[in-house]
């Protein structure tokens, strides 16, 4: 028993470290991309595409990686993925043109698919009562984004931005070796291998016909996609909106990324204890209030008095902006954990496939939203328009969740009524 517990702890710790390293590599271009933007004189839209391209490949790969993890096991797949990603990451330091950055960034983005592998691997080791907590701890690997915002600027200042991807590549190779040495195949994969019961493609795909899966994915589109998008967007936002230097901007971004990662652990525990749906609904309301104020652009108001005009300047100071965006990060951390607890509640035996599908939509949000931020900024010329966009997206999520819950409750009442009638008829007979 003690040995089994040690295996579980080792699997959880190493999986979290691997995911943190992958997430750090996945978001690295958000920091070094600011340097590339100035070197190549990129527009806001071009910059948005640059930082979002790795997110696209990571998103698209999540579903197939989740399905492969159920067939091959998470340990082998995770190790192989990390070794493959380290190659384009190293090569990124030698790129010169915009298309080279995009191509290599697309390959580096495969690191983002490690989430689908890890969520299946970690879930296979954890008990049903602690699924939310275990997946929350693993999901805290989002701290990799904070690590990038902290470490990458220091590397850039000391050695130039081209040294950052080289250092990251060496770290990934080292962690891949440690992961292989310190972990074992998960129990579900071992059992299937012994029984020679490898899931067929049709079995893996069957849960994807359920509309509920895509509804969960839509929620994750906001809580995770919004988290990734803001992680990528905030350093440049601080620089352009408030005139801060990159080092300060990256540090302030940590106040968003770190709480958003750490509170995922607490969010997982709360989802276990209080119910995932209740936690998720609270998250949406908190984000709605904060985004309302974040959306308000700097405004000059003139009051025409009897003798003179009075002009007021309404602009959110950097400290208030940072506090509100930190609250949003905390709420998103809770939301990311609660969504995946809901996934486990309905699909405990298909965490690889369903988790991959939900993760895919979330990561797609991380790709689409930065580009959308750039487009609305270029179109309207208002930097806070990115938060207006998130506000509208959240409103759609809340409407979808409300009607989804209503339909589910109606179906449950109908089933209960049919069952009660059936029992009554049998008793009368």
Per-residue pLDDT reduced to its tens digit, 344-382: 888 877 777 788 888 888 888 877 888 888 888 888 878
Q: Is 124 helix (H, G, I), strand (E, B) or coil?
A: helix
The per-residue pLDDT for 395 is 92
Listed as own residue / partner, the contacts of 95-103 with beta carbons closer than 8 Å and 24 or more positions apart are 98/40, 98/42, 98/46, 98/50, 101/29, 101/36, 101/50, 102/49, 102/50, 102/53
Name residues of the chain where pLDDT drops below 50.
Answer: none
| Secondary structure class of 161 (helix, strand, coil) | coil
Q: For residue 1, what pLDDT is reported?
A: 52
Distance between CA atoms of residues 139 and 38, nearest Å:
33
**DSSP bridge pairs for 304:** 309
pLDDT recorded at residue 420: 64
CB atoms within 10 A of CB 361: 23
Helix, strand, coil shares of the chain as percentages rounded to 5?
85, 5, 10
Q: What is the DSSP letter of 275?
A: -
Neighbours of 187 (CB within 10 A): 14
Question: What burial letters (b/e) apply to 393-409, b meaning 16+ CB within 10 Å?
Answer: bbeebbeebeebeeeee
Domain ranges, ordered by start, for the chain: 2-428
Closest by CA position to 313, among listed 292, 297, 325: 297
CB 132 within 8 Å of CB 269: yes
DSSP letter, residue 126: S
* Encoded tokens for 392: 């509208």
Q: Render pLDDT for 120-175 as a digit per residue (tens, 0 to 9).
A: 888 877 777 777 788 888 878 878 877 887 788 888 888 888 899 999 999 999 99
- Give just the sign of the alpha carbon dihedral 21, 22, 26, 29: positive
Q: How far apart are CA 237 and CA 374, in angstroms?
A: 11
| CA atoms of 358 and 215, how far apart (whole Å) | 9
Residue whose C-alpha is closest to residue 235's, from 112, 159, 145: 145
Q: For 2-428, CATH number?
A: 1.20.1250.20
**Element counts in the chain: helices (H) and strands (E):** 17, 2
Helix (H, G, I), strand (E, B) or coil at 311: strand
Q: Which neighbouring-strand residues pair with 138?
A: none
Exposure string over 264-277, b if 16+ CB within 10 A, otherwise e: bbbbbbbbbeeebb
pLDDT of residue 192: 66
| H or E stretch at 314 | strand 309-314
Distance CA 132, CA 341 (A): 5
State how far the Cα of 53 lies from the Cα of 56, in Å rounded to an integer. 5
Rg (CA), the chain: 23
160: left (phi over 0), alpha (psi -120 to 50) or beta: left
How far is C-alpha 311 from the chain's CA centre?
42
Residue identified by tokens 């910059």 is 47
């Amino acid at each position: 028993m003690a040995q089994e517990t040690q295996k579980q702890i080792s699997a959880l710790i190493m999986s979290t470290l691997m995911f943190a390293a992958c997430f750090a590599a996945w978001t690295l271009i958000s920091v070094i991309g600011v340097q590339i933007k100035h070197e190549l004189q990129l527009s806001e839209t071009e910059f948005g595409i640059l930082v979002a391209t790795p997110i696209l490949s990571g998103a698209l790969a999540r579903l197939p990686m989740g399905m492969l993890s159920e067939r091959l096991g998470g340990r082998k797949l995770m190790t192989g993925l990390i070794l493959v990603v380290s190659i384009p990451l190293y090569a990124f330091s030698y790129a010169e043109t915009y298309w080279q950055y995009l191509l290599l960034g697309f390959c580096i983005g495969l690191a983002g698919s490690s989430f689908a592998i890890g969520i299946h691997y970690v879930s296979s080791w954890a008990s049903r009562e602690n699924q939310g907590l275990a997946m929350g701890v693993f999901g805290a690997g989002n701290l990799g984004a904070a690590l990038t915002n902290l470490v990458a600027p220091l590397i850039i200042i000391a050695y130039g931005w081209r040294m950052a991807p080289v250092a990251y590549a060496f770290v990934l190779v080292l962690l891949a070796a440690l992961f292989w040495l310190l972990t074992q195949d998960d129990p579900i994969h071992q059992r299937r291998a012994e029984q020679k019961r490898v899931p067929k493609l049709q079995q893996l795909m069957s849960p994807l016909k359920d509309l509920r899966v895509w509804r969960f994915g839509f929620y994750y589109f906001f809580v995770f996609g919004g988290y990734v998008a803001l992680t990528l967007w905030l350093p440049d936002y601080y620089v352009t909106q408030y005139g801060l230097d990159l080092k300060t901007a990256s540090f302030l971004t940590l106040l968003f990324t770190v709480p958003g990662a750490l509170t995922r652990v607490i969010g997982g525990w709360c989802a276990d204890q209080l119910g995932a749906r209740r936690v998720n609904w609270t998250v949406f309301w908190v984000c709605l209030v904060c985004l309302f104020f974040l959306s308000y652009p700097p405004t000059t108001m003139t009051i025409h008095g009897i003798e003179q005009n009075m002009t007021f300047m309404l602009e959110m100071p950097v400290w208030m902006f940072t506090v509100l965006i930190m609250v949003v990060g905390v709420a998103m951390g809770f939301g990311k954990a609660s969504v995946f607890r809901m996934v486990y509640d309905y699909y405990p035996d298909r965490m690889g496939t369903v988790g991959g599908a939900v993760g895919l939509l979330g990561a797609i949000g991380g790709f689409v939203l930065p580009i959308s931020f750039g487009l609305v900024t270029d179109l309207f010329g208002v930097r806070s328009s990115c938060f207006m966009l998130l506000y509208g997206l959240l409103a759609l999520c809340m409407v979808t969740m409300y009607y989804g819950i209503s339909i589910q409750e109606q179906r449950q009442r109908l089933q209960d009524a049919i069952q009660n009638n059936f029992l009554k008829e049998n008793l009368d007979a």
